[in-house]
Amino acid sequence: MRNMSTAVLYNDQGGAEAAVEAGQESTPTTSSSGAAFGLFSTDFKKNEDLKEMLESNKESLKLEAMKRVVGLIAKGKNSSELFPAVVKNVASKNIELKKLVYVYLVRYAEEQQDLALLSISTFQRALKDPNQFIRASALRVLSSIRVPIIVPIMMLAIKEAAADLSPYVRKTSAHAIQKLYSLDPEQKEQLIEVIEKLLKDKSTLVAGSVVMAFEEVCPDRIDLIHKNYRKLCNLLVDVEEWGQVVIISMLTRYARTQFTSPWKEGAIFDENNDKTFYESDSEEKKEQTEAKPYIMDPDHRLLLRNTKPLLQSRNTAVVMSVAQLYWHLAPKHEVNIVTKSLVRLLRSHREVQYIVLQNIATMSIQRKGMFEPYMKSFYVRSTDATHIKTLKLEILTNLANEANISTILREFQTYVKSQDKAFAAATIQAIGRCATNISEVTDTCLNGLVLLLSNRDETVVAESVVVIKKLLQTQPTQHSEIIKHMAKLFDNITVPMARASILWLMGEYCERVPKIAPDVLRKMAKTFTAEEDIVKLQTVNLAAKLYLTNSKQTKLLTQYILNLGKYDQNYDIRDRTRFIRQLIVPNEKSGALNKYARRILLAPKPAPVLESAFKDRDRFQLGTLSHSLNVKAAGYQELSDWPAVAPDQSVRNVEVIEPVKEWAPLVGKTKKSKSEDKFYSDDEDEKEEEGSESSGSEDSSSSSSSDEESGSESEEESSEESDKTSSDSGKSSSGSEKSSSESEAEQKKKKKTKKAPLKKNKLTAGDSDSDENGNGPVAQSSSSSAESSSGSETDSEDDSDSDNIAAQKKKKSEAKSKPKVEVKSKKEVSLLDLDDFSPAPTNAPKSSVVSSSLLSDLEGLSLSNVSSTMQVTTPSFGPVKTYELLHHMTGKGLSAKYHFPRQPCLYQPSMVAVQVILTNSSDHSLEEIHIGDRSPASLNIHCFNTIERLEPEASVTVSMGIDFSDSTQAANFQLCTKEDQFSVSIQPAVGELLMPSTMTEEDFSKEQGKLLGMNETSATITMATANTSSQAIGKQVLSVANVGVVSSSQNNVHRFAGRTVSSGAVVLVSLEQKESCAALLTINTEKSVMASMLLRDLKQALAQA
Amino acid sequence: MIHSLFLINHTGDIFLEKHWKSVIGRSVCDYFFEAREKAVEPENVPPVLQTPHHYLISIYRGKLFFLSVIQTEVPPLFVIEFLHRVADTIQDYFGECSEGVIKDNVVTVYELLEEMLDNGFPLATESNVLKEMIRPPTILRSVVNTLTGASNVGDTLPTGQLSNVPWRRVGVKYTNNEAYFDVIEEIDAILDKSGTTVFAEIQGVIEACVRLTGMPDLTLSFMNPRLLDDVSFHPCVRFKRWESERVLSFIPPDGNFTLMNYHVSSQNLVAIPVYVKQSISFFETGPCGRLDITIGPKQTMGKTVEGLMVTIHMPKAVLSANLTATQGTYTYDLATKVLVWDIGKLNPQKLPNLKGSLTTQAGTPKPEDNPSLNIDLKIQQLAISGLKVSRLDMYGEKYKPFKGVKYLTKAGKFQIYIYMFIFLENLMSYLLFEWLQCVLKHSI
């Protein structure tokens, strides 16, 4: 590996200090302690010798001795007689010695309680030490000493530590709570008080430990969580990984008691929700909310949203706990997002695989669809351990359906031939289960199993027989061929279970094989005494059944067998024989029963159900020990059912952190929760589409009823509040992060305030003017602070940059022509309002869409005196090229064309707007035109509304948005009608992935200066003579790319600027005309791939006339 | 949570025990030994076991069992993950995780275990934090310690513990600042006998070795991040940036760490670097079979395939193999029935071939089960998925670091199904043999 080599390299070059660094990382050597232990292990009996060393005056000797003692403890050898000698060193100055003494104390204090008390005063003193580390370790050891007498001292220490300034000490006190509780459960009440106090702690360090203590001491005191619920949700991402696991599983339990079930409406709900994701039309949504009474509690949503990023954790336990949270809490259609992560865990260690597979097995019974796309990940490998193989088999069987059964069966065929016979047998059972579950393949499976009967391996044959027996039983049709075949094999089969099964089959279906059955009985009569018990029992059964159906041929044989059975050693067989004899052979005593013999013996029997071993596991919470063992483990907390009516949600409202006093009385309860939701969504790091959008839809659905005025007001308030809390959380964390989070908060504030004034534009233009001006400096200062703080997030820089530019531009344009701006921006307002309704908290794109849409209007103004042809605002510019999406021949009458309208996409700023013209050229009307599956699945498309009906010869234009993520990779999706599905794809030209932006010449050259070197692509091109005029150049460039023209002072230089739609990266195009037709075309952008593609396109466009 | 930990070697000796709560007797391990006995192979021991009063959760790493004792409900993955973390830490400290190393450093290991858990709940598992509390042993340090009487144990709270970046310590200093990234990809594939891909996917990992002064804030971006289907990160990576911009933005831990794991799904076409032509056949009767394997390059993107190795698990009936390899060496382990053919570098001009006869146990019928063929290989300077790092930027510090990216493709679980043919081509000799047997049987 590289680390070794670099370390070596490093040693050569670095100074002494560096050498130490490098050395400690990578050179494995035997330490002095190790050597000492090695020496010692040979003569460990000399404990006397150790005692002397411990009592000596030399530190080094003591240390040496303690190391040996710890070695003894590690080996599990008793060294308790050294206690007095060791305990004396507890106050030692040498930290290593001290630590080793601690180790010893914790191990033996319980046995030597009186002596252990000697050390207590030392710890009490250490608890007051100014060094937090020493305080914490003293508390750790003090609470680990399991001596009941010191319980009051411990209690006191815990209480004090819980109020300590250092979060590390508080964390230790949370751990100590559990220790004290296990030592003396009487203290519960007092401990709960401490827990309550610590739960309020805002440090991420403490959160995990205190929740752990809560789980151990008072898991039923859910009421303690209410006030801390939102805080825990928000801190979750920053808590250390082990704490995350504990918190997530606690919150799962909490949520099940506090929220109503999101599953109530089942399938209908799914559909509805899918729609609401993309709906921006408030009208529609109103209807839907009316139709569907369930609205997810914003706190419920908060939990789901804040746990989602943790699916990407490296810690498998965290991923699993998020997965189980989604399984138990999320609406059905959202559970699927955990699939990928769970499948990823299958690459981890064997033990991890085992647990994950167990959980997947349980999940796959209920929800086949979740794992079906990943079926191949469950294919068994020859190197897998047996228990892994069996689990995979289980899952594959669960996943089997009509569509994939042939693939699965083919795979099973390979497994049957496996060298691992136990596994082969399990496979046969799995085949049996598939056969019963999917009636289409029953015959195929049966035939396959019959073929296996001629397998050389005994276990395989035996298992096949048993499974065939079960299958035949479920399918009591004409299978006499198979039964005959089995009768033939009977002689070769020696496994008792298989023989018994065949005999049973013969008896059960003896009327179908009237000739063979008696012959089998004859053979059995010969070998009866040598058979196993179960075989004997079935022989007796067979005899009885044959006697009833075919007494002529088998009477004597039956008598013979019954006689043999009568004197068998096994009393079961003797009893059975006696019973059967009474039942079938008519005599005086058993007259009554005899009549029913036929009905008793030959009654139709219910078929056995072949079902998964994981069927009943879902009674346990996934991911728990109980689930893994399928037994209720000690301390398992049941997951309660959803309450029918949600308990009062206001209990989670926190009054404590309320520096914003004004809003609380003003806003009603519902609104409060709504704004809360919003602020979390902005506050949090993540910005997945699903969560935010659906919450957005909820928002707007509720706010659509209220008038716009108040809606915007509440938003402002929420923004204010978010600032407060986010800066709060910043304070609780320490160091460099603090400043960065603060700057982020500032950022947010700025964004919010910016948004608000835009709305106010409607009222007064002057107002907005001052606001915008005020904004510029704020943005600048925050960006500079972000740069200076070491741990700053770079994206904040980008943000502020873009805002900066936007602000500057606005200023500029305002200066130029104020009244016009006012008119324009009024138009924009409605657009922006829409945007607000679906708050996609993507940072950069949002700000840029604001700027670009405004700019596009302003641009025309700034350019008006430069060139009259360019007056048309760029977004609507265009020799709009129309592309074919679906030809009417392939589309069975439906044809589709598309073009890029070059307008900012309404639905999401990061999307490229696409207009599709759908035409019906068939002779019948088409119904339900909509967009179906897309690939890649992650592709983010805003679909158009389903077109219910398209008459013949009619055409309709719909618009959609596609997030290409700045790549020219085609977006593939399906265009569906009621009957058909057509796969189509849209491949954007690189120029369509841009949005125009305007800037001054200075800004342009400044930006260009930043994007030199690797970010610059240039080429000398030859232009067609027709293109040499500046107008023509502009036209050609704009036809290729959606960029804005930058005014230029030089006649021979043309500049164009744009931004990529998705990421908002700046793209600068400059064209320097040289003599005659030659020109130097330069493109500056971070996206080097885009640059080269754009260059190619431009070159082509300019070369043609 | 975790009550006790026992380390058990492959012969079943408990050579280290550590209790975080009250002491639990060793006899609890007997249940484990029972299961171990039953499982035959150590890999087959169920990771979770139940005993009357306790639950045992174990992992098997480096021929050692890490057995933890649990008393109450706990997510099993929590324990398993932690145990692996213990093993990782030991490996990190001493270079390997084996019985010998642990025995040699028993005190350090014990101190580590003490720090890692408090009352059974993980306290410090970041290697960075641990290394500040308990320094890894080095020759230099032990010399210094003996001279000065200094110790390996730190007396202040590790700086990482309290900060929001617990994975990085404060005040790191290097004279040479360097950041290296290894993009390592493994191909997992199942091919059927005709060479068609049944299943293929790529698992990648980015291992980083970062030695930078101060608190650098790095941004690593890819040419084609869309390739990545599923990812998991070191805690240092900012989820937010990845979600929005598909770049990795992070303050790195000091030293070696795994930055991210990713998965390129089977939806994308996976290039299979080699093809295998094989035939293993056994005659219906008679004590021999034939084996013929040739390997050639398929899609190697112009790079050389190295470290090529073929492993075949033979049917139990195969007694010995008498083969000739045109390249490399082969070994056949009689006990485990594993044939290993170590080829080395693949020369496209002269394809390596292994040919010869197999001896089966006389009298036993032809083996029925399919052997499986596993391939191991390495391709330097290639990430088979096509993933490319486009740039690495550093913020927050002034100096210019050395940067480097290395690509490596390996075979992960690369398996080829083999179907054996029972040859009847030699029908005459077969019939003759059959006839002879009949004659013999009837004459007796």
The shortest C-alpha distance from A890 to chain B (Å) reads 25
Q: Considering chain B, what percentage of its residues have pLDDT values greater than 70?
A: 84
CB contact under 8 A, B107 and A34: yes
Sign of CA dihedral B87, B90, B96, B100: negative
* Average pLDDT in chain A: 72
Which among B164, B316, B406 has the least Cβ separation from residue A419?
B316
Which among A10, A317, A341 has the least Cβ separation from residue B78?
A317
Nearest by Cα to B268 from B374, B378, B383: B383
The shortest C-alpha distance from B123 to chain A (Å) reads 9
Nearest by Cα to B374 from B302, B319, B313: B313
> Which chain A residues touch B157 with a CB distance below 8 Å?
131-133, 136, 166, 168
Alpha-helical segments (H) within B55-186 = 76-94, 99-104, 106-116, 127-133, 139-148, 159-162
Is omega for the bond preceding B273 within 30 degrees of 0, making it cis?
no
CB contact under 8 A, A20 and B141: yes
pLDDT of residue A838: 38
> Which chain B residues touch A176 with a CB distance below 8 Å?
119
Q: Considering chain A, what percentage of its residues have pLDDT values greater than 70?
A: 71
The mean pLDDT of A587-594, rounded to a whole number, is 66
Q: How far apart are CA A388 and CA A349, in angstroms?
A: 11
Question: Given a cut of 60, is residue B206 above it in pLDDT?
Answer: yes
Q: How confident is the model at residue B58 (pLDDT cuts 50, 70, 90)?
A: very high
> Which chain A residues touch B154 with a CB distance below 8 Å?
95
Q: How confident is the model at residue A1009 (pLDDT cuts 50, 70, 90)?
A: confident
pLDDT of residue B368: 57
The mean pLDDT of B148-163, rounded to a whole number, is 60
> Which chain B residues touch A1 with a CB distance below 8 Å?
256
The shortest C-alpha distance from B93 to chain A (Å) reads 7
CB contact under 8 A, B122 and A242: yes
Q: How confident is the model at residue B151 (pLDDT cuts 50, 70, 90)?
A: low
Question: Given a cut of 70, is residue A753 above it in pLDDT?
Answer: no
The shortest C-alpha distance from A577 to chain B (Å) reads 38
Question: Given a cut of 80, is residue A937 above it in pLDDT?
Answer: no
Residue B423 phi, psi dihedral angles, 5° rounding: -80, 130
Q: How confident is the model at residue B147 (pLDDT cuts 50, 70, 90)?
A: low
Q: Read off the pLDDT of residues A419-439 as tens digits, 9 standing for 90 and up.
A: 777 888 888 888 888 888 887
What is the C-alpha radius of gyration for chain A, rounded to an integer number of angstroms? 39
Q: How confident is the model at residue B33 (pLDDT cuts 50, 70, 90)?
A: very high
Read off the amino acid at residue B100: G
> Which chain B residues touch A382 with a CB distance below 8 Å?
313, 372, 374, 415
Virtual torsion, Cα A855, A861, A865, A871, nearest 10 deg: 80
Which residues of chain B form CATH 2.60.40.1170? 178-270+384-442, 274-380
- Identify the H or E element spanning A787: helix A765-788
CB contact under 8 A, B110 and A29: no
Residue A1100 CB contacts under 8 Å (≥ 6 apart), including other chains: none
CB contact under 8 A, A131 and B251: no
For testing contact with chain B, the best of A183, A252, A314 (most B CBs within 10 A) = A314
The shortest C-alpha distance from A660 to chain B (Å) reads 27
The shortest C-alpha distance from B319 to chain A (Å) reads 16
Which among A29, A74, A350 has the least Cβ separation from residue B138?
A29
> A–B: how many Cβ contacts below 8 A?
392
Is B2-148 CATH 3.30.300.30? no
Question: Given a cut of 60, is residue A793 above it in pLDDT?
Answer: no
pLDDT of residue A880: 64
The shortest C-alpha distance from B11 to chain A (Å) reads 16
> Which chain A residues touch B78 with a CB distance below 8 Å?
242, 245, 317
CB contact under 8 A, B162 and A21: no
Q: How far apart are CA A1098 and CA B21, in angstroms?
A: 73
> Which chain A residues touch B164 with a CB distance below 8 Å?
204, 238, 733-735, 737, 791
The most confident of the ranges A175-184, A992-1001, A1058-1067, B414-423 is A175-184
Q: How far apart are CA A332 and CA A259, in angstroms?
A: 15
Q: Read off the pLDDT of residues A368-423 as tens digits, 9 standing for 90 and up.
A: 888 888 888 898 887 888 889 999 999 999 888 888 888 888 888 888 877 777 88
For residue A994, what are the β-bridge partners? Answer: A1060
Q: Which residue has the higher pLDDT, A781 or A606?
A: A606
> Which chain A residues touch B190 with a CB distance below 8 Å?
379, 381
Question: Given a cut of 80, is residue A12 above it in pLDDT?
Answer: no
List Cα–Cα distances, B344 to A263, A711, B278, B305, B328, in angstroms: 57, 70, 18, 8, 6
- DSSP-assigned states of every residue in A921-946: -SSS-EEEEEEEEEESTT-EEEPPPP
For testing contact with chain B, the best of A6, A31, A249 (most B CBs within 10 A) = A31
> Which chain A residues touch B96 with a CB distance below 8 Å?
28
The reported pTM is 0.64
Contact in structure between B234 and B259 (CB atoms under 8 Å): yes
Least confident of A545-559, A795-809, B156-170: A795-809
The mean pLDDT of A151-180, rounded to a whole number, is 90
For testing contact with chain B, the best of A625, A682, A687, A784 (most B CBs within 10 A) = A625
Q: Number of helices and strands (H, E) in chain A?
A: 48, 15
Which residues of chain B form CATH 3.30.450.60? 2-148
The shortest C-alpha distance from A76 to chain B (Å) reads 6
Q: In the 3-class helix/strand/coil scheme, how is B170-229 assigned residue by residue?
A: CCCCCCCCEEEEEEEEEEEEEECCCCCEEEEEEEEEEEEEEECCCCCEEEEEECCHHHCC
CB contact under 8 A, A344 and B21: no
Looking at domain B178-270+384-442, which of 3.20.20.70, 3.30.565.10, 2.60.40.1170, 1.20.1070.10 is its CATH number?
A: 2.60.40.1170
CATH of domain B274-380: 2.60.40.1170
Question: Given a cut of 70, is residue A909 above it in pLDDT?
Answer: yes
pLDDT of residue B5: 93
For testing contact with chain A, the best of B167, B187, B215, B239 (most A CBs within 10 A) = B239
**B146-149 long-range Cβ contacts below 8 angstroms, 24+ apart:** B146/A32, B149/A59, B149/A60
Question: Given a cut of 70, is residue A20 above it in pLDDT?
Answer: no
- DSSP-assigned states of every residue in A159-209: HHHHT-SSHHHHHHHHHHHHHHHHH-GGGHHHHHHHHHHHHT---HHHHHH
The shortest C-alpha distance from B417 to chain A (Å) reads 8
Question: Given a cut of 90, is residue B82 above it in pLDDT?
Answer: yes
ipTM of the modeled complex: 0.83
Q: Find, in chain A, the residue whose alpha carbon is nearest to that of B122.
A: A242
Q: Find, in chain A, the residue whose alpha carbon is nearest to that of B218.
A: A794
CB contact under 8 A, B162 and A309: no
The most confident of the ranges A54-63, A725-734, A848-857, B218-227 is B218-227
Least confident of A196-200, A770-774, A909-913: A770-774
Q: How many residues does chain A have?
A: 1105
Contact in structure between A68 and A40 (CB atoms under 8 Å): yes
> Which chain B residues touch A34 with a CB distance below 8 Å?
104-108, 137
Nearest by Cα to A1056 from A1046, A1047, A1066, A1065: A1046
> Which chain B residues touch A457 with a CB distance below 8 Å?
368
> Which chain B residues touch A793 with a CB distance below 8 Å?
238, 240-241, 249
Q: How confident is the model at residue A266 (pLDDT cuts 50, 70, 90)?
A: very low
Question: Given a cut of 60, is residue A678 above it in pLDDT?
Answer: no
CB contact under 8 A, A417 and B50: no
Tokens 């531009």 belong to residue: A809
> Which chain B residues touch A204 with a CB distance below 8 Å?
164
For testing contact with chain A, the best of B14, B17, B32, B78 (most A CBs within 10 A) = B78
Q: Which residue has the higher pLDDT, A1052 or B419?
A: A1052
Least confident of A64-78, A997-1011, B356-370: B356-370
Which among B153, B211, B267 has the least Cβ separation from residue A96?
B153
Q: Read off the pLDDT of residues A443-494 as tens digits, 9 standing for 90 and up.
A: 778 777 877 777 767 777 778 887 887 877 776 666 777 788 788 878 877 7
> Which chain A residues touch B249 with a CB distance below 8 Å?
793-795
CB contact under 8 A, A636 and B73: yes
Which among B155, B244, B251 has the least Cβ separation from residue A843?
B244
Question: Given a cut of 50, is residue A723 above it in pLDDT?
Answer: no
Question: Given a cut of 80, is residue A588 above it in pLDDT?
Answer: no
A150 burial class (0-12, 13-18, 19+ CB within 10 angstroms)? buried
Q: Read off the pLDDT of residues B102-130 as tens digits, 9 standing for 90 and up.
A: 988 888 898 889 888 888 888 888 877 78
The most confident of the ranges A503-507, A875-879, B165-169 is A503-507
DSSP state of A312: G
The mean pLDDT of A997-1013, rounded to a whole number, is 80
Q: How confident is the model at residue A794 (pLDDT cuts 50, 70, 90)?
A: very low
Q: Read off the pLDDT of residues B217-271 as tens digits, 9 standing for 90 and up.
A: 899 998 888 888 788 888 888 888 888 888 899 988 888 888 998 888 655 577 8
